[in-house]
Structure 1
Amino acid sequence: MDKQIGDGAGRAEIAGTANVLVPAGGLSPACAPELVAEVEAARTYRLRARSANTLRAYASDWSQFQGWCWGRGLEPIPALPEVVATYLAALARAGRADSTVTRHLAAITWQHRREGLPPPSARDTHQLIADTLSGIRREQRARPTRKKAAIGAKDLAGMIAKVDGLGTRAVRDRAILALGLAAALRRSELVALQLADIQLVDQGLTVRVGHSKTDQEGEGATIAVPAGKVLHPVAHLNAWLTVRGGAPGPLFTRVGTRGEFTLEAMSDRSVARLVKSYAKMQGLDPETIAGHSLRAGFLTEAARTRASLAKMQEVSRHKSLKVLMGYVRSAEQFDDHAGAGFI
């Protein structure tokens, strides 16, 4: 519940703040403004513990949980463990991936803590939530999964060629496609890029990725992108910068139907739709393509051309080599095949 500190001009509401020490006799008016500022700083730091994309996803997931509860006459907060376990099962029945189900649970936990309430899992003495989630994961592991296909350099060059014209949207889309593969960027990373994250250098350009899925603390990484002989990411990006201008803000902005744009960031879903659209023009099956296909394309091509794991990891920023080895094994599965001499 919310606590109130001070009175008059020094009054502040503190939502979800635990372990705030207030003297038994009350807080003196002289101390109130300082404590208010410190509480606000603590709130700001808590929000920064999650990326902007994560917070947007949590807000959407929480809204869906609320709607599901209200539609069934159930209370979303404080939510009973039985209610949460049933909701997770409903998501799984609707075909949601276990990773999505897990994120919905994280959103519910986040909202409870934000409201200063213990999360449902902390009150789940019978482990209903944990067991339900475990069962969902076990069932989904038993199902055959179809991974999204990687887009190779040749196909991507074809896709870029099919982006017709010199209009604002066309120039932007070519730059997104080329840079997305050349820097092995996730779609969330593409839309999070700011103009200040790009530096043109003699050999090409550098991209500063300030926050990513595997870098929750925001340490950041700088990726080198060569000028290129096939995809020409620097040339395409320069063309977009000429249209976009030098105003600070998102690197890739939304573009209207008439080519007009403001300095408003694209959504990661719009990147996925963009990639699927041009993949279809190239003759690829859009059902097998996703925003991740650009990043997967870089790794697949790097493995095919015998790039070292260290150099691949430099660009992809994977924390573990296990995932990278999967791309290498896929590219090399027919090399020196054990049956090549007799099959």
Structure 2
Amino acid sequence: MATEDEELSSARSSTSDDVKGDARDQEKSDGTTLPSHVAGSGALDQLVETARDYAKQAASENTLKAYAKDWAHFARWCRLKGTDPLPLSPEIIGLYLANLAAPTAKAPALSVSTIERRLSGLSWNYMQRGFNLDRKNRHIATVLAGIKRKHARPPVQKEAILAEDILAMVATLPYDLRGLRDRAILLIGYAGGLRRSEIVSLDVHKDDTPDSGGWIEFLDEGALLTLNAKTGWREVELGRGSSDQTCPVHALEQWLHFAKIDFGPVFVRTSRDGAKALEARLNDKHVARLIKRTVLDAGIRAELPEKERLALFSGHSLRAGLASSAEIDESYVQKHLGHASAEMTRRYQRRRDRFRVNLTRVAGL
């Protein structure tokens, strides 16, 4: 079983010097300054700082970290090639994308989705520095189109955790304080179709902490989660289960009661002996590790080698499991998961009835 010390060590893992240096540079050139013709004053300078704080909230912390790493990688690549990332050069960016898809050194080639993510990171970073990266520029667009045409592959989907799987997984957990917490995490993550960041960002009440990503309201019928999610604010209804052993709401109530949590983060670290809840909010990586560990302990897909089994499952396996197991109208699943389109919901449904409507016969063939 993974210890809390391992989790803390992971959270403290240091980033590269390039990323740290870039973060310092970005603070100096984040695009939020007074116009040159306006004289500074105490009130205006304070508003500049306020505007900078709001600008930092425009993207999630994980997204900003990824963008910083994207810029650091590009800046290092430029130095190795004897050039500079500034000012913006579409020709250089096109060459960089080509090198990511077909590296000349021993580095592995990146997938199309990762290359597109890198390009988004560069676009964001250039925007912070006052440049507009035009993705339609021929030096960028044609190279990216060629990469997609030659290297595009169907997306690799994580395995869905189905109802029988989640029951087997929670059965492996002890009934000490840490076990109560992890059981609540798995059950509400599954029943709510929650992202791992949404799980760990929950607070007991609204506005309990500055970094809150949502809060919980307990009702007779279940629990109502209000989430500041990836696609905006949404409400998730968690109905009570058929038994206390499998009910996500009961598991959540048990954890909060025995952990004596009535304010602040819902899911926190525990002491080394697992007997006391601490104040520090859990890192979202704990959810991924918990899923992988309980998948192994429950013997799910035991016919495969351990390395392959671990690679099959991630935090998204909970969302995919709910979407695949819920035998209800697709629109309810779409609303519950907070998807903007039915097509996105279908990507999560691993065993939906694909031929329920036979358009071939309807068309008269």
Instruction: State how far apart, in whole Å, the 2-side matches of 1:138 and 1:334 are.
Output: 29
Which of 255, 258, 280 aligns to 2:296? It is: 280
SS of corresponding position for 1:209: strand
- Superposed, 1:167-182 pairs within 5 Å as 167-182=176-191
SS at match of 1:222: strand
Match of 2:146 among 122, 135, 146: 135
TM-score of the aligned structures, taking structure 2 as reference length: 0.73
1:310 maps to what in 2? 331
> 1:14: how far off?
7.1
The percentage of aligned residue pairs carrying the same residue is: 33
Q: Please state whether the residue corresponding to 1:146 is helix, strand or coil.
A: coil
Q: Residues 204-223 of structure 1 correspond to what in structure 2 (within 5 A)?
A: 204-212=222-230, 215=231, 218=232, 220-223=233-236
Q: C-alpha separation between the residues in 1 aligned to 2:178 and 2:53?
A: 36
Q: Is the 8 A contact 1:78 1:117 kept in 2?
A: no
The equivalent residue for 1:5 is none
**Is the partner of 1:332 in helix, strand or coil?**
coil
Q: Are the counterparts in 2 of residues 51 and 211 from structure 1 also a CA contact under 8 Å?
A: no
1:111 aligns with 2:125: yes
Give me the whole-angstrom Cα distance separating, in 1, the residues matched to 2:268 and 2:100: 33
Q: How does 1:141-160 map to 2 (within 5 A)?
A: 141=152, 143-160=153-170
| 2:310 partner amino acid | P
TM-score, normalized by length of structure 1?
A: 0.77
Whichever residue aligns with residue 142 of structure 2, its letter is D
Counterparts in 2 of 1:237-252, with a 5 A limit? 237-246=252-261, 248-252=263-267
Residue identity matched to 2:112: D
Does residue 264 of the first structure (1) align with residue 298 of the second (2)?
Answer: no
Asked whether the 8 Å contact 2:193–2:318 carries over to 1, the reply is: yes
Q: 1:63 aligns with which of 72, 84, 87?
A: 72
2:219 alignment partner, one of 183, 201, 204: 201
Contact kept in structure 2, 1:223 and 1:315, CA below 8 Å = yes
Query: Does the 8 A contact of 2:32 with 2:48 survive in 1?
Result: no
- Aligned partner of residue 210 in structure 1, secondary structure: strand
| Displacement after TM superposition at 1:228 (Å) | 0.9
SS in 2 for 1:224: strand
Point out where structure 1 has 5 or more consecutive residues left out of the alignment. Answer: 1-12, 339-343
Q: Is the 8 A contact 1:14 1:39 kept in 2?
A: no
Letter in 1 for 2:193: A
Tell me, yes or no, if structure 1 residue 47 matches structure 2 residue 56.
yes
Give the letter for the 1:39 counterpart.
V
8 Å contact from structure 1 (residues 253, 261) kept in 2: yes
**Aligned AA for 2:116?**
T
Change (3 A) 1:256 1:102: farther
1:53 partner amino acid: N
Q: 1:144, CA displacement in angstroms?
A: 4.7
Unaligned runs of 5+ in 2: 1-26, 103-107, 206-214, 302-308, 360-365
Equivalenced residue count is: 308
Q: Distance in 2 between matches of 1:291 and 1:322?
A: 20
Instruction: Note if contact 1:152-1:301 (Cα within 8 Å) is conserved in structure 2.
Output: yes
